Amino acid sequence: MPKNRPSQNKRNAKKYGKLHAERAKREHEAAKKVVDDESLDFPAKTDHLAKVRRWFTADTTIIDKYMSDELSTAETVDILAKPVDEAYSSADFGRQWHKQEMIARGQRKFHSPEKALEMWGPEEDWPEPEKEWDASQSTEMLLWDLWYSILHVAKRIPYTDDPRHEKLIELVRAFKARPNPPPPVPMTIPLKREWIWESGKLWTDLTVLGISVAEVSNDSPGCGAGWLWPELRAWENVNAFMARLTASHLMTFQSLGLWALRDATENSPSPGYRRAHPPSDVDILSHRVILASLWVTLAGDRVFAEYYPKIRDKRDIGVVDRILDLRDDKLPWTRSRKKYKGRARWETARREFVRRRFEVESHNKSLPLEAREMASKAAKAMIPFVQFGEN
């Protein structure tokens, strides 16, 4: 092989780059057509963009009826949870007994007979059901669809609409309070090792919600979405919902809040993977400031609960004056993780740095008024998180 041979990535870029660019152009044009269609309101634009961009979503008919008060909370939970309970308690109508036993047989051979028996139980014969099977009715797929539908509805609700967001939060709270379905009988060892059945707390743990949020995070601007205004607004709206979930102690999405803070205050603006029609740095910063402000104002105490250390003394505040305009790897806490390990004390100035960055952006005339006002609220909301003294 020649030493100067291009890398696989470079060869792929040369081979498929034009195709990818053409596809990105077609997709952008389709999305732009949706945005420019004045007959569509914002929720309808969000639905159409989800199809164009192939977002993670599901049928929202039942959730829509709940949000329009056609169904009560109890009725909505009952309609959506009953099929899940039925599939769960029947081990996906008997299919999981066979499937998990086949997996166990593939694993037992790697262990001694004693260890295999301990880990996977005795070998059992579970015939594969002959009835035609619709995989969308499995426990896992029903849960994916449930949470995808709720998250998609959250994208349609303006982040300023507190009552409607709280109504959606109340629905999640009702699912969490629902009694867990009885386990399948028998609960074989291989089935118990399958993650859906492992904890026995299907609703208490809000199973699959966490990984649904992880998948939906791929629909963020610059990744699975572009930078058209409805796409930005949809991502801001669903972040407001996830911040409210975090503040309500229903689920913890602290990492999303921290990423939003770092993007807005520490990282240079970047359009992400979608570079066909990149926005200006000001547009990127405006969007990031709004996102980060939402997390601070809605769930600040939860976001800062564990990650950012408390300020130890006023010397740490003095550090911020010297580094306020720095970004990316030039920030001291970023460098300290790499080669300046002895300067890790600078990490304690991070909260004040974030607060001061919000103050700066609140006076940034290049940003829209909405972003400046959100930054001002975030700066004020952060004051309680900047604590002096050892305690």
Average pLDDT by consecutive 10-residue portion of the chain (391 residues)?
72 77 90 97 98 97 98 98 98 95 94 93 90 91 98 98 98 98 96 96 97 96 94 98 96 93 94 81 97 96 72 72 89 65 59 92 97 97 73 42
pLDDT at residue 183, rounded to an integer: 97
Token digits for 270? 């970047």
Question: CA triplet 336, 337, 338: central angle to 5 degrees?
Answer: 90
pLDDT at residue 177, rounded to an integer: 98
CA distances from 71 to 63, 102, 326, 334 (A): 9, 42, 52, 50
pLDDT at residue 313, rounded to an integer: 63
* 210: number of Cβ within 10 Å: 13
**Which residues neighbour 228 within 8 Å (Cβ) at sequence distance 6 or greater?**
31, 32, 35, 49
Beta bridge partners of 221: 225
pLDDT at residue 339, rounded to an integer: 52
pLDDT at residue 390, rounded to an integer: 47
**Which residues neighbour 88 within 8 Å (Cβ) at sequence distance 6 or greater?**
139, 181, 184, 196, 197, 202
- Residue 225, phi then psi, degrees to nearest 5: -125, 160
CA distances from 252 to 148, 256, 292 (A): 17, 9, 16
Question: CA triplet 202, 210, 158: central angle to 5 degrees?
Answer: 115
With the CA atoms of 246, 247, 250 and 251 taken in that order, what torsion angle do they form, in degrees rounded to the nearest 10? Answer: 10
Question: CA triplet 259, 48, 173: central angle to 5 degrees?
Answer: 55
Specify whether the CB–CB gap between 317 and 311 falls below 8 A. yes
**Which residues neighbour 74 within 8 Å (Cβ) at sequence distance 6 or greater?**
174
Specify whether the CB–CB gap between 170 and 244 falls below 8 A. no
With the CA atoms of 171, 172, 173 and 175 taken in that order, what torsion angle do they form, in degrees rounded to the nearest 10? Answer: 90
pLDDT at residue 344, rounded to an integer: 47
**Number of separate helices (H) and strands (E) present in the chain:** 18, 0
Specify whether the CB–CB gap between 152 and 170 falls below 8 A. no
pLDDT at residue 126, rounded to an integer: 92
